[in-house]
Structure 1
């Protein structure tokens, strides 16, 4: 391992996966999946997608364990040769950079719409980017400490708020189950699979684990927690707002939390509280993707100082974040990223694993 920082535990790896995965997607997941499925069986698509991604994730960490203490940017050249490794490595670096830009733009759009009205998008983006660079310049151990604070707060408050909407919940909105057969569930797999982007962080993080043998466990737990959160969200949003009521809403999860109030509590309206924790969550995704892109450039081009790389990436990520002219273009960018993630992190690791076995590259499974 070429990073002077300490190794991370299995639990910390789970925290990173969940923090990365629960980004902007959860705010739009009920709408995108409902449009694709067209029936109340959205929740089945979530479960099936979670199982598929778990299988993909296990293949990914199996590949990483063949090359202990090396990131994907380092061991790919052993499998494919230098030039192909450069092409694949640059594609992954570009992916992480654009994900960082996408997350920061979504955060700016949501913040501008609900919290900081008439504040220019560029101002919100720049503030969060400078806070992000301050965090990641401390290295992986500092990022982890922040993540370990953010995640429990997010999970407790988010699940509590979603479950408080049970006064609006009607089980009839989730019926009939499989009324139109299995085909709508299959149609819903693509948008739900795209919401699971985040497991690919293990291509970098496995190199820093204390016990790489536990990477399967970390991947499984990380995906299980994310699937549970997605499932609770979709069931409550569809059950409360109905299938037809979701399709026309840009941020249905936020709309659900805005649609009820509890008399007598400290907070009667909950959307501001949800936005605060979700801004932290999207910020987490931005921070780890910016960090992974910096690690990629360092490892691929064998640079010595990563601090400079982080600062060089700032203007590139900023310009990318400002390219979408409106929310629709931002969503289109998100769809493109989802498709790219399927190619880069679902198909490619399997191909690399097969080639490494055929060419007998890498050690036995750690």
Structure 2
């Protein structure tokens, strides 16, 4: 009996790059055009996205280099070899809490957006619960299966998005992109900070490098995985500015979805293109939430060392659901997202410090 080509527990470099892109492309792309329109002037937000993309690619490269040092073990085991065991437990536990919060944010976001555009009569609590149960079911399987799922879904998401952007050419007023380069450095930097918030998620390279056939290629996968969302974010932002104007864009909650509503496909083959776009986007948010929960379970298990995967998923899901229900309105939900983003920066900073310690000790050679 012949084995399939993918009948193994290791993934290729391109699959890890796709996984990182799938993790980054989530809720952020739906709201980033509005945020940048309120921070930058005219269409200069693309500069902020480019600045954020360069910084993110550099940090992802460094994290991948660090992850390559323990390709034969786990994150917790390697950190424990660099610092004391209690400190390693605290850092790894912070990782788990961060990704639990990440899942909670994605679950609540998909519920808010679904209630706005699809299920206006359905309570947010029910939508969140159903989506979380689907994510939990996916995470209960093998880790390699999640990465294969990204490889299957990602091309569909990219193709549909590019098609929508292509057909939106007829409604874009390109003159609204002018004037260029009129935003000062301070506001460009603020826009870059907001853009980096939308690109968090690349930290998963710390945990999926161990599953690569060639761990030394992890830095290249990380850079490619960041570059794809950066280009996509720039395209979506510029098209949204040209369609709605920078002033109107500031008042639109989810510009990317509203853009899909305005697109008309020749021949009227599809009348409600936003439904297609939103359905496809659920796929990438599902991937993002599934990988975040997977890493939360993985890091918790590396600390506890007891219980199987299914038991940890069952323990974590109630906490994910309760946290997702904490924000009572849109303002609190936005603040919740900011808190998670700052948690991500804190954790990335700690990992970079660990990288310096590892280099100082001459480890990983």
TM-score bucket of the superposed structures, by smaller chain: over 0.9
Alignment match of 1:107 (pick from 94, 107, 110): 110
What residue in structure 2 maps to residue 327 of structure 1? 330
What residue in structure 1 maps to residue 190 of structure 2? 187
| Gapped regions of structure 2 (runs ≥ 5) | 1-7
Q: For 1:67 and 1:147, how far apart are their aligned partners in 2? A: 24
Q: For 2:219 and 2:95, how far apart are their aligned partners in 1? A: 22
Q: For 1:168 and 1:184, how far apart are their aligned partners in 2? A: 28
**Conservation of the 8 A alpha-carbon contact between 1:74 and 1:300:** no
What's the secondary structure of 1:261's corresponding residue?
Answer: coil
Q: For 2:166 and 2:83, how far apart are their aligned partners in 1? A: 49
Tell me by how many angstroms 1:304 deviates. 4.9
Tell me by how many angstroms 1:327 deviates. 2.2
Q: For 2:115 and 2:350, how far apart are their aligned partners in 1? A: 37
Tell me by how many angstroms 1:11 deviates. 1.3
Tell me by how many angstroms 1:301 deviates. 2.1
Q: For 1:60 and 1:245, how far apart are their aligned partners in 2? A: 39
How many pairs were matched up?
A: 359
List aligned pairs for 1:227-246, cutoff 5 A: 227-246=230-249
List aligned pairs for 1:272-311, cutoff 5 A: 272-311=275-314
What residue in structure 2 maps to residue 43 of structure 1? 46
User: Quick check: 1:355 aligned with 2:357?
Assistant: yes
Q: For 2:89 and 2:115, how far apart are their aligned partners in 1? A: 39
**Conservation of the 8 A alpha-carbon contact between 2:44 and 2:183:** no
Tell me by how many angstroms 1:145 deviates. 2.6
Tell me by how many angstroms 1:263 deviates. 4.8
User: Quick check: 1:116 aligned with 2:119?
Assistant: yes
What residue in structure 1 maps to residue 67 of structure 2? 64
Q: For 2:194 and 2:102, how far apart are their aligned partners in 1? A: 16
Q: For 1:145 and 1:291, how far apart are their aligned partners in 2? A: 14
- For residues 3-23 of structure 1, give each alpha carbon's deviation from its aligned partner in whole angstroms, at most 9, with x where no partner exists: xx7112111101211111111
| Gapped regions of structure 1 (runs ≥ 5) | none
Q: For 1:37 and 1:167, how far apart are their aligned partners in 2? A: 25
What residue in structure 2 maps to residue 338 of structure 1? 341
- For residues 44-90 of structure 1, give each alpha carbon's deviation from its aligned partner in whole angstroms, at most 9, with x where no partner exists: 11111111111111111111112222332331111121111111111
What residue in structure 1 maps to residue 5 of structure 2? none
List aligned pairs for 1:1-366, cutoff 5 A: 6-345=9-348, 347-360=349-362, 362-364=363-365
**Conservation of the 8 A alpha-carbon contact between 1:64 and 1:71:** no
**Conservation of the 8 A alpha-carbon contact between 2:62 and 2:219:** no
Q: For 2:145 and 2:66, how far apart are their aligned partners in 1? A: 27
The runs of at least 4 aligned residues of structure 1 exceeding 3 Å deviation read 180-183
What's the secondary structure of 1:363's corresponding residue?
Answer: coil
TM-score normalised by the chain length of structure 2: 0.94
Moved more, 312-321 or 134-143: 134-143
Q: For 2:156 and 2:183, how far apart are their aligned partners in 1? A: 39
Moved more, 137-146 or 79-88: 137-146
What's the secondary structure of 2:180's corresponding residue?
Answer: coil
- For residues 265-311 of structure 1, give each alpha carbon's deviation from its aligned partner in whole angstroms, at most 9, with x where no partner exists: 32022100011011111111110000000000011222352221111
**Conservation of the 8 A alpha-carbon contact between 2:17 and 2:225:** yes
Q: For 1:127 and 1:179, how far apart are their aligned partners in 2? A: 46
Q: For 1:126 and 1:187, how far apart are their aligned partners in 2? A: 35
What's the secondary structure of 2:199's corresponding residue?
Answer: coil
